[in-house]
Structure 1
Amino acid sequence: MAAERLLPPGQREVRKWPRLDLGIVPRFDPKEWDLRVDGSVDKPIRFTYDEFLRLPSAKVVSPFHCVTGWTTFDNEWVGATVREVAERAQIRPTARFATFRCGDGYTTSHPLNVLYDSDVLLTYQWDGKPLPIEHGGPVRLLVPKRYAYKSAKWVR
């Protein structure tokens, strides 16, 4: 089912997804890549790339809005929900925010109540293919209800 096609004020629809980053594209080696969940958790965890891909997956169809003024519609994403990963790490009840660190040095934070929405993913697939490196692959945070700069690329 296609996502609702509401273009926010000041946005324009684009067909080709523009590439925007800090000018640093991390190298991806599936044997070296890992995802770590630590901090205010009872069970710090580390996933290898293969372990991460074996987590239960969810599919989300959503628009993708960039703060620079463009929107793409009907993006199909596949990945693990942030809630699934957080539950495995046993996030402490006192925790209110999560910070995501990325392979290019970028960080972003979100309130946990936002991250626990069922459409918030650590996504590794876009439109039926592995998420391209230039768009944040192998794993990108997807927070569809926020502008794209909050959907951090190259999450580690």
Structure 2
Amino acid sequence: MTADLLAPLDLAFWNIESADHPMHLAALGVFPAGSGAAGAHAADLLASRAAAVPGLRMRIRDVWRPLTGSSLAALRRPWTGQGEPLAAALRRPLSFGGARREPDPRFDPQDHVRLHAPAPDFHAAAGRLMERPLDRSRPPWEAHVLPAQDGA
């Protein structure tokens, strides 16, 4: 995949997220384990499948542009709806910055998939994992395999 600018809404979520204001999404799936090795198998399966999904290799990098005469003119030029599609007008450089997705040359899916020890309070442990901010220096996703003590 090639680098591309974040859409305005994605950029807003990216810039607003902090430890006090988490903006990332989380999902919880509960599956019967069937065996004691099911957690390790699930983690290995997730990592091997993630390697084949190009979008999961993309990290987000801030893009800053200095103010210039042409970028100031772009700020003053309103969108008229004629000639230029709205999507193109919204992606015009605004000179103060933005962010783009780009391939991470050091991507390793094993760095994003975690196998945890069985937890006595499964839901509390899952909640703690979901409230943590993502590492912004690498592709912004994680998968956690968290077995419950009953094997689920």
Normalising to structure 2: TM-score of the pair? Answer: 0.26
TM-score using structure 1 length: 0.26
Point out which structure has higher relative CO (alpha carbons under 8 A, 6+ apart): 2
More helix, by proportion: 2
